[in-house]
């Protein structure tokens, strides 16, 4: 940690405390704005997967609902893919018992997870670089617009990021002063992170190696019992779950298929797409400044630690080469990496500001300018959250479910693989693939026979629902085929075709 004689934020304990409280208070406030809107603002497919699981768990535990809804909710939960351990969903389902089924509960939890991660980020950067660097890193982590939106989502990623950052803090503590207490803390936090989401292993191992190798040789590390205990605690929970899910029940094997596509490693377009999504998640300017931070940092040990984090992200992206270029939230761990990397640059700037504002009046003016910038960012994010009200959509899906009588004989070209229809419409659905799925399947060497697929999916089913008309226009064969059937009913945003009443006999 650098000398704080010319620090801007650390002139007094009170000013630093007020600064930190304002930052976390504002960051929580903006995340709780528009709290009760539907979870359709950020990757609704993934959020509704967790929502359906949590509802099924809640109903199974004895919710007071009609039997048919309880049966369907449990079935929806059980038939959904188990991508990772359902820890977050169970926490939300448990809370439903006291607060009722309110989707905003997950939004509150995710926001708190992200803020707790911010606390550990502040402590980590304070110890590694400086208080000024810690404040600016935390500002970026808490208020970058993408981070605000993503950290409100009902998915395990905010919890994963919180655990990753807390592990980074603990392992750097252990590195500076090895002890059994820090061994246990670091091992448990790393183990929880990997258990919550397996991809955390890249960022746990990368941070551990980046923190330990500047101070110890590999030979020394192999001889340390504490390192072995930390590694065992880190991988035993996830290894047990993998063994359970792949060997004994075989439900995890399909989840790892298609994450790595060898041909994409030599595809320039895939790297361009990856860079575009990374820029969306962390900001191109921030990434560039973070990389420059690697050059200006003075402490060799901290530089190697940061290189370990960046290397972990790059290796992660190469292994999950398809998803890193198609799912922007796969770059969420990049946000804290960039935040820490920004600290050396921020320290230089804030030290210069501290030297230039020694007079109390000038320092007050500087605080006002910084607060203005922060409030402006919050106002812009508020506008983004307010721009679309998703609440009215629920009534459309309810109407569709009632039109279909909640029956099992519906094929659908619809949003989010039918999750909206399942959640609000209480409707079982057979999904017609979208063009992206068809392209992905053919890219991996498969084939798509439209006639055979249509016959297979519609055989024995009464209706074909369309709610995604943009996607329908991208599939002219399907659009032409559906025109051969009469319309059963339609409304604002949907059309239901009667497969039992062809117009041409």
Provide the number of structural domains found in the chain: 3
**Angstrom distances, CA of residue 407 to CA of 31, 75, 213, 404, 467:** 38, 14, 60, 6, 17
Q: What is this structure's pTM?
A: 0.93
Tokens of 2: 């650098």
Which strand (E) or helix (H) includes residue 487? strand 485-491
Q: Which residues of the chain have pLDDT under 70?
A: 1-6, 244-259, 443-445, 504-505
d(Cα 468, Cα 493) in Å, to the nearest integer? 8
Q: Do both 25 and 90 map to the same domain?
A: no
Q: Do both 428 and 286 map to the same domain?
A: no
User: Is 356 a member of any domain?
Assistant: yes
Q: Do both 308 and 241 map to the same domain?
A: yes
User: Is 1 a member of any domain?
Assistant: no
Strand partners, 411: 430, 464
User: Is 3 a member of any domain?
Assistant: no
User: Is 186 a member of any domain?
Assistant: yes
| Dihedral, 16, 22, 24, 25 alpha carbons, nearest 10 | 150
d(Cα 110, Cα 103) in Å, to the nearest integer? 12
Q: Hey, is 154 helix, strand or coil?
A: coil
If we measure between CA atoms, which residue out of 378, 376, 411, 286 comes closest to residue 30? Answer: 378
Q: Do both 378 and 407 map to the same domain?
A: no
Tokens of 82: 């188990």
Q: Do both 338 and 486 map to the same domain?
A: no
Residue 465 DSSP code = E
Listed residues 386, 417, 447: the one ending a domain: 386
Taking the CA atoms of 435, 149, 330 and 282 in sequence, report the sign of the dihedral they define: positive
User: Is 489 a member of any domain?
Assistant: yes
Q: Do both 361 and 236 map to the same domain?
A: yes
The pLDDT value given to residue 367: 85
Q: Do both 68 and 117 map to the same domain?
A: no
Q: Do both 78 and 184 map to the same domain?
A: no
Q: Do both 471 and 357 map to the same domain?
A: no
d(Cα 108, Cα 104) in Å, to the nearest integer? 6
The pLDDT value given to residue 258: 56
d(Cα 70, Cα 247) in Å, to the nearest integer? 30
The pLDDT value given to residue 339: 98
Q: Do both 164 and 231 map to the same domain?
A: yes
CA atoms within 13 A on the CB side of 418: 19
Listed residues 352, 386, 420: the one ending a domain: 386
Q: Do both 129 and 267 map to the same domain?
A: yes
Q: Hey, is 464 helix, strand or coil?
A: strand
The pLDDT value given to residue 417: 92
The pLDDT value given to residue 82: 77
DSSP string, 250-309: --SGGGGTTS--GGGGG-HHHHHHHHHHHHHHH-HHHHHHHHHHHHH---HHHHHHHHHH
Which strand (E) or helix (H) includes residue 431? strand 430-431
Mapping DSSP onto H, E and C, the string for 406-421 reads: CCCCEEEECHHHHHHH
User: Is 6 a member of any domain?
Assistant: no
Count of helix runs (H) and strand runs (E) in the chain: 24, 5
User: Is 409 a member of any domain?
Assistant: yes
For residue 463, give every residue at least 6 positions away whose Cβ sits within 8 Å of its Cβ, in sequence order, or none. Answer: 404, 409, 410, 411, 488, 496, 497, 498, 499
User: Is 7 a member of any domain?
Assistant: no
Show the domain range for 85.
44-102
| Residue at token pair 């550990």 | 120
Listed residues 84, 102, 120: the one ending a domain: 102
The pLDDT value given to residue 257: 58
Number of other residues whose CB lies within 10 A of the CB of residue 85: 18
| Residue at token pair 């650390």 | 10
């Amino acid at each position: 940690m650098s000398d704080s004689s010319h620090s801007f934020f650390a002139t007094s304990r009170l000013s630093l405390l007020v600064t930190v409280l304002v930052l976390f208070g504002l960051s929580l406030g903006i995340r709780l704005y528009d709290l009760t809107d539907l979870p359709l603002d950020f990757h609704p497919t993934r959020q509704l997967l967790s929502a359906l699981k949590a509802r099924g768990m809640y109903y199974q535990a004895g919710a007071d609902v009609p039997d048919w809804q309880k049966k369907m909710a449990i079935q929806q939960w059980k038939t959904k893919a188990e991508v990772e351990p359902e820890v977050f969903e169970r926490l939300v389902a448990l809370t439903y018992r006291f607060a009722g089924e309110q989707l905003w509960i997950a939004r509150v939890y995710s926001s708190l997870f992200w803020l707790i991660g911010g606390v550990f980020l502040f402590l980590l950067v304070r110890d590694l670089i400086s208080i000024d660097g810690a404040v600016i890193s935390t500002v970026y982590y808490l208020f970058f617009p993408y981070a605000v939106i993503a950290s409100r989502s009902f998915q395990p990623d905010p919890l994963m990021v919180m655990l990753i950052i807390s592990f980074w803090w603990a392992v750097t503590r252990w590195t500076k002063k090895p002890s059994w207490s820090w061994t246990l803390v670091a091992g448990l936090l790393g183990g929880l992170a990997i258990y919550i989401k397996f991809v955390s292993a890249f960022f746990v191992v990368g941070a551990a190696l980046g923190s330990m190798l500047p101070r110890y040789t590999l030979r020394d590390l192999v001889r340390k019992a504490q390192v072995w205990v930390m590694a065992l605690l880190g991988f035993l929970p996830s290894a047990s779950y993998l063994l359970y899910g792949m060997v004994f029940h075989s439900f995890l094997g399909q989840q790892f298929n298609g994450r790595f596509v060898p041909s994409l490693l030599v595809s320039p377009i895939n790297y361009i797409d990856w860079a575009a999504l990374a820029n969306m998640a962390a900001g191109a300017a921030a990434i560039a400044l973070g990389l420059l931070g690697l050059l200006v940092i003075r402490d060799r040990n901290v530089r190697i630690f940061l290189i370990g984090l960046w290397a972990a992200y790059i290796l992660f992206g190469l292994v999950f080469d398809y998803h890193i270029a198609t799912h922007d939230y796969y770059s969420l761990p990049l946000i804290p990496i960039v935040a820490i990397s920004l600290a050396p640059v921020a320290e230089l700037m804030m030290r210069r500001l501290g030297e230039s504002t020694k007079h109390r009046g000038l320092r007050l003016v500087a605080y006002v300018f910084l607060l203005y910038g922060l409030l402006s960012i919050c106002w812009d994010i508020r506008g983004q959250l307010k721009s679309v009200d998703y609440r009215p959509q629920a009534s459309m899906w309810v109407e569709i479910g009632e039109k279909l009588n909640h029956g099992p004989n519906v094929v659908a070209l619809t949003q989010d693989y039918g999750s909206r229809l399942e959640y609000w419409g209480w409707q079982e659905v057979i999904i017609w693939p979208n063009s992206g799925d068809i392209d992905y399947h053919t890219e991996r060497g498969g084939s798509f026979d439209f006639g055979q697929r249509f016959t297979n999916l519609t055989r024995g089913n009464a209706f074909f629902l369309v709610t995604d008309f943009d996607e329908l226009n991208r599939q002219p064969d399907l659009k032409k085929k559906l025109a051969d059937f009469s319309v059963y009913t339609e409304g604002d945003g949907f059309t239901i075709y009667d497969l039992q009443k062809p117009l041409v006999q």
